[in-house]
């Protein structure tokens, strides 16, 4: 049952929004966030955008082999990051969530190191780029097979319920994931067990090169929650405050024993699906430009802050300079850490290495000597 005191109703006809395109607050309740928190949201969105740009530069300069651009997802990802308890709740992200992980507090040096596989990567360079994880922040390693992380998120959430830990598992994915069998199995199981989980779709309207209407007949993603007996929230993911408040409520709802929820954050990705994709083959440039110039989430939130007296051009310039310097330093530190030794691939397979790993490690060292 959904308590009457919840702010948001599921299964709305239109995406839930709290800020209009021109930056006016349109929520039915008062925004209770402190000015410094609102400015922090803006800083995190800018940092996510600049991080995205720097990671693309790593690809262009041959320092990494793969990127999955996140520009256009900043409001959704920053909203999610601030709606959970860092290092307490568990996050099961997907490969486009670098901005989310940065806003969560994961050091930028670790994200750069993961992208270029240096010793500063806590995962020892054993994942493909854009597949980070963090034991400290309870971030499950990103998995490439689409929706394969949904069942582990459901299982972790069921464990949290059985052990009464008070934690919540937050799992993100793209719209294409909702057409996969693993998605159905994981969400169905979480719902049946009343697990404290929040499943969040960052719906950017394209499953790689397949448009939304060609990969699902559902009118939206949120409505799919009906089939699993959980609330489904249809949200404007280009609105950082709508993303934050709805996800916060879904997390609080799950933490208080009301079971899982599905949240759809409608966004738009500006770049291709990945560095292996040519998006000009399946969507017009005019469509991309329309979203960039008229619906950008950072610009929309900037207009809101300006109306609140919290934004000036001088602050913006200072903020950009500060973030750019921080990320440049992190990138330099990640690169300076040095390449991962090849024999590290055999670490952590077993607590005590078995003879095959020992033999293979010796062969690698002999080959490289």
CATH code of 147's domain: 3.40.50.970
Nearest to 186 by CA among 150, 212, 158: 150
User: How many H-runs (helices) and E-runs (strands) does the chain carry?
Assistant: 12, 7
Strands 197-203 and 206-207: unpaired
Q: Note the pLDDT of residue 302.
A: 98
Whether 3 is in a domain gets the answer no
In the predicted model, what is the mean pLDDT of residues 29-55? 97
CA distance 261 to 256: 12
Are 363 and 273 in a shared domain? no
One domain for residues 237 and 334: yes
In a domain, 238, yes or no: yes
The verdict on 236 and 354 lying in the same domain is no
| Strand partners of residue 197 | 169
Query: What does residue 90 show for φ and ψ, rounded to 5 degrees?
Result: -100, 140
Separation CA 301–CA 242 (nearest Å): 11
255 and 300 in a single domain? The answer is: yes
Which residue is listed with tokens 């934050």?
Answer: 244
What is the average pLDDT value for the chain, to the nearest integer? 96
> CB under 8 Å to 49, separation ≥6 — which residues?
71, 74, 99, 298
289 and 362 belong to one structural domain: no
Confidence at 1, pLDDT banded by 50, 70, 90: very low
- Distance in angstroms between the alpha carbons of the first and the last residue of the chain: 65
Please report whether residue 28 resides in a domain.
Answer: no
**pLDDT classification of 164: cutoffs 50, 70, 90:** very high
- Annotated active-site positions, please? 269, 273, 282
Mark whether 356 and 244 lie in a shared domain.
no
Taking the C-alpha atoms of residue 20 and residue 15, their distance in angstroms, rounded to an integer, is 12
- For 119-134, what is each residue's pLDDT tens digit? 999 999 999 999 999 9
Task: Give the 3-state secondary structure of residue 300.
Answer: helix
Query: Residues with Cβ < 8 Å from 369, sequence gap 6 or more?
Result: none
In the structure encoding, which two tokens stand for residue 16, read together? 């839930």
Distances (CA, A) of 12 to 62, 79, 207, 233, 299: 46, 20, 24, 7, 26
Same domain, 327 and 355: no
pLDDT of residue 3: 53
User: Is 24 a domain residue?
Assistant: no
Mean pLDDT within 52-65: 94
Average pLDDT over residues 152-171: 98
237 shares a domain with 351: no
Tell me the pLDDT band of 248, cut-offs 50, 70 and 90: very high
Over residues 153-180, the mean pLDDT reads 98
91 assigned to some structural domain? yes
Shared domain for 273 and 349, answered yes or no, is: no
* Rounded mean pLDDT, 277-286: 94
Percent of the chain with pLDDT over 70: 99
How does pLDDT run across 79-104, given as a tens digit for each residue? Answer: 999 999 999 999 999 999 999 999 99
The verdict on 256 and 353 lying in the same domain is no
**For residue 20, is it within any domain?**
no
pLDDT at res. 89: 98
Mean pLDDT of 256-277: 96
In a domain, 15, yes or no: no
Match 């489904």 to its residue by tokens. 232
Strands (E), 258-363: 261-266
Structure tokens at 357: 């790993």
Domain housing 353: 342-368
Question: Per-residue pLDDT for 191 more than 80?
Answer: yes
Q: Does residue 187 lie in a domain region?
A: yes
Q: How big is the chain by its Cα radius of gyration, in Å? A: 21
Whether 189 and 140 map to the same domain: the answer is yes
pLDDT score of 2 more than 50? no
Q: Return the HEC string of 3-71.
A: CCCCCCCCCCCCCECCECCCCCECCCCCCCCCHHHHHHHHHHHHHHHHHHHHHHHHHHCCCCCCCCCCC
Percent of the chain whose predicted confidence (pLDDT) is above 90: 97
Neighbour tally for 104: CB within 10 Å? 24
DSSP 3-state assignment of 235? strand
Task: Please report the pLDDT score of residue 5 as a whole number.
Answer: 79
Domain count, the chain: 2
């Amino acid at each position: 049952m959904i308590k009457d005191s919840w702010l948001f109703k599921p299964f709305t006809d239109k995406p839930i929004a709290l800020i209009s395109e021109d930056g006016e607050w349109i929520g039915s309740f008062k925004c209770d966030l402190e000015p410094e928190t609102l400015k922090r949201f803006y800083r995190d969105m800018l940092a996510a955008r600049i991080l995205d740009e720097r990671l693309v530069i790593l690809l262009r300069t041959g320092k990494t082999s793969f990127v999955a651009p996140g520009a256009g997802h900043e409001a959704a990802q920053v909203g999610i990051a601030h709606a959970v308890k860092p290092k307490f709740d568990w996050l099961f992200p997907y490969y486009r969530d670098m901005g989310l992980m940065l806003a969560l507090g994961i050091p930028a040096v670790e994200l750069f190191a993961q992208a270029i596989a240096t010793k500063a990567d806590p995962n020892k360079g054993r994942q493909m780029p854009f597949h980070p994880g963090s034991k400290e922040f309870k971030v499950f390693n990103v998995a490439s097979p689409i929706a394969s992380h949904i069942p582990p998120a459901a299982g972790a959430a069921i464990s949290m319920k059985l052990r009464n830990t008070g934690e919540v598992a937050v799992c993100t994915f793209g719209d294409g994931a909702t057409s996969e069998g693993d998605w159905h199995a994981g969400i169905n199981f979480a719902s049946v067990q009343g697990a404290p989980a929040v499943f969040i779709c960052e719906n950017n309207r394209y499953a790689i090169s397949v448009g939304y209407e060609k990969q699902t007949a559902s009118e939206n993603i949120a409505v799919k929650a009906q089939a699993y007996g959980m609330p489904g929230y249809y949200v404007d993911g280009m609105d950082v405050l709508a993303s934050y408040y709805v996800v916060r409520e879904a997390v609080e709802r799950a933490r208080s024993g009301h079971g899982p929820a599905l949240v759809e954050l409608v966004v738009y990705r500006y770049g291709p699906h990945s560095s292996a994709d040519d998006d000009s083959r399946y969507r017009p440039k005019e469509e991309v430009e329309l979203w960039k110039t008229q619906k950008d989430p950072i610009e929309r939130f900037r207009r809101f802050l300006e109306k609140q007296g919290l934004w000036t051009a001088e602050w913006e310039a200072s903020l950009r300079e500060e973030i750019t310097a921080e990320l440049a330093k992190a990138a330099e530190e990640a690169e300076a850490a040095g390449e991962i030794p090849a024999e590290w691939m055999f670490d952590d397979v077993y607590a005590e290495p078995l003879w095959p790993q020992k033999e293979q490690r010796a062969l690698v060292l002999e080959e490289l000597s």
